[in-house]
Every structure is written in structure tokens, then in C-alpha cells.
Amino acid sequence: MVMIGGSVAKYIVVNPFIWVCIDLAILGIAYLILRRYPFIDLKSSMSFLGGLTAVSVLIDLGIISGLVGNILIIALLAWMIFGRSRGSNNRPVNRHKWHK
């Protein structure tokens, strides 16, 4: 809901620099929401959301085109799905000792 609300706010506001502030606020709110859940891998989730935010900021400021941004987002998704390895068995890291 936070990301949908941010997208609606970006359509209402015309200034690209305010769009960047909205993107960063969404990233901060997403961090606060994800931090509450101990079973979520916060580091990988925030690296993915940070990459999406960086691409969105570059598109908003006009540094890269929308097509290049879409290619970067697809590459980011491919990296998150295929490129990560946490170890030999690819199991998530246990955050608490009782999860053994």
C-alpha cells in the first residue's frame, strides 16, 4: 500500500525533485515495515528495494531513459533470483537460535 500511495503522490506532484523525496520516503517506510518481521532477510530485501529506488530516482531525474530503467530492473530481478548464493545448501540464515 505504501508503494501504491507513493505512485499516486508522484502523479499529483509535478516537480521531479519532490519525486525523489517521495521515492526515498517510500524506501524509509519500507525499511520500517520490514524491520518488524524477524523472518524476513532484511539485508537482501533492502538491497533489492534500494536498487529499485536508485533506478527510479535516475529515471525521475531524466538521467536514464525509461527503456534503460526497465532493462536495469529486469537485470536486478535476475540477480536477485539467480545470482545470490548464501552457502552450499542455499538455506536462509537462522536469525534466532531456536530455529535450528
Establish if 95 belongs to a structural domain: no
The pTM of this model reads 0.76
Kindly state the DSSP code that residue 61 receives in the 8-state scheme.
T
Enclosing domain of residue 6: 2-87
54 belongs to a structural domain: yes
**What 3-state DSSP class applies to 17?**
helix
> Contact, 41 vs 29, CB < 8 A?
no
Chain-centroid distance, C-alpha 30: 8
Contacts of 62 by beta carbon, 8 Å cutoff, 6+ apart: 16
Write the single-letter amino acid at 7.
S
% the chain with pLDDT above 70:
83
The structural domain count of the chain equals 1
- The pLDDT tens digits of the residues spanning 15-63 come to 999 999 999 999 999 999 999 988 888 888 899 999 999 999 999 999 9
